[in-house]
Amino acid sequence: MPRKIIIDSDPGQDDAVAILLALASPEELDVLGIVAVAGNVGLARNAKNALRIVELAGRTDIPVFAGCPGPMMRKLVTAEHVHGDTGLDGSNLPDPVKTLEDRHGVDFLIETVMSAPENTVTLCALGPLTNIATALVKEPRIAARLEEIVLMGGAYFEVGNITPAAEFNIYVDPEAAATVFACGAPVTVMPLDVTHKMLTTPGRMKAFRDLGNRTGAAIAGMLSFSEHFDLQKYGWDGAPLHDPCVTAWLLAPDIFSGRQCNVEIETASELTRGMTVADYWLITDKPRNAMFIRDGDADAFYRLLTERLARLP
């Protein structure tokens, strides 16, 4: 029985790969819908990119919704410097024919979780947590009904990427992140600590190009654009591939390792706004509210990605 998931995303080149990996795995994952959130670029463009991605995969049956246009309490911060003005620069994907659903994405999240049997829906969060936190505020009962929330965000040993202290998804909407981490649902975190080990080396990028399908060509084009910023910044032999770690956790959890521990979010200090304070060494007796993933087998991760993406058009 495939696992029911809702993907909440700000596509974003790495979001696109995460979504495509999910769409390439219908035996394991039943994607109930995709909800766009403001993050990498503005909501309208992220939503349009999500439509482009389901069309690329030949999965226009998947409903796509627009969620919240900005953080719960703060001014939106975007990342065109990484993802380009469209948010999906390098993809060369045409304007979508498919259109967004009329319902607000937050209402789709609530109605889907409330109507499904308990513990059968997993939320995959690939961007700022605004939509999920807003759903939790509007209908707190969803927290106890969710199977799991798997999110890309935060860092502990790798600290920050948008500031010295914070990772982008958490930084954009720290109040939303605080709400999600405190909601009581099982939360699994894919932080920079693990995504910084999943580098798009030249050999791995060649494997995407050599897939020979339109998906491989689009991914190679997208990542060739988005990796520039991180290659310059870090000087590594590849750029971190963040969001597909969320999908890979659902498909192959054994390639990852981490620890159940307390994770809280800084929302008061401007200096450390959005910092994920992970009690990884179990110093306190605070509730261990998250599975914090620290490591992963990069070769296994890319083998999974390449094998699955070959299945798409």
- Rounded distance, CA 242 to CA 139, Å? 29
Please tell me whether residue 10 binds ligand RIB under the rule CB under 6 A. Answer: yes
Q: Could you say which of Ca ion, ligand RIB, none residue 161 binds, taking C-beta under 5 to 8 angstroms by partner kind?
A: ligand RIB
What would you measure as the largest C-alpha separation in the chain, in angstroms?
A: 53
On whether the CB atoms of residues 40 and 14 are closer than 8 A, the answer is: no
- E runs forming strands in the chain: 3-9, 29-36, 64-66, 121-125, 146-152, 187-190, 256-261, 263-265, 276-278, 290-296
**Rg, Å, the chain Cα set:** 18
Instruction: Residue 234: count other Cβ atoms within 10 Å of its Cβ.
Output: 14
Please tell me whether residue 148 binds ligand RIB under the rule CB under 6 A. Answer: no
Residue 299, by phi and psi: left (phi above 0), alpha (psi -120 to 50) or beta? alpha
Q: Which one of 33, 39, 87, 105 is in contact with ligand RIB (CB under 6 A)?
A: 39
Site for ligand RIB in 226-245 (CB under 6 A): 242-243
Q: Could you say which of Ca ion, ligand RIB, none residue 148 binds, taking C-beta under 5 to 8 angstroms by partner kind?
A: none
Site for ligand RIB in 127-146 (CB under 6 A): 127
Applying CB under 6 A, the span of 60-68, 69-77, 166-174, 176-184 interacting with ligand RIB comes to: 166-174
In angstroms, give the least distance from the CB of 162 to ligand RIB.
7
In angstroms, give the least distance from the CB of 62 to Ca ion.
18
In angstroms, give the least distance from the CB of 312 to ligand RIB.
20
Applying CB under 6 A, the span of 12-20, 58-66, 88-96, 270-278 interacting with ligand RIB comes to: 12-20
In angstroms, give the least distance from the CB of 85 to Ca ion.
16
β-strands 256-261, 290-296 pairing: antiparallel
Burial of 80 (0-12, 13-18, 19+ CB in 10 A): middle
β-strands 29-36, 187-190 pairing: unpaired
Please tell me whether residue 152 binds ligand RIB under the rule CB under 6 A. Answer: yes
Residues 6+ apart with CB under 8 A from 212: none
Please tell me whether residue 67 binds ligand RIB under the rule CB under 6 A. Answer: no
Please tell me whether residue 37 binds ligand RIB under the rule CB under 6 A. Answer: no
Please tell me whether residue 173 binds ligand RIB under the rule CB under 6 A. Answer: no
Q: Which residues carry out catalysis?
A: 242
Q: Which one of 25, 49, 122, 161 is in contact with ligand RIB (CB under 6 A)?
A: 161
Closer of 83 and 262 to Ca ion (Cβ): 83
- Rounded distance, CA 168 to CA 273, Å? 11
Binding stretches for ligand RIB (CB under 6 A): 10, 12, 14-15, 39-40, 126-127, 152, 161, 167-169, 242-243
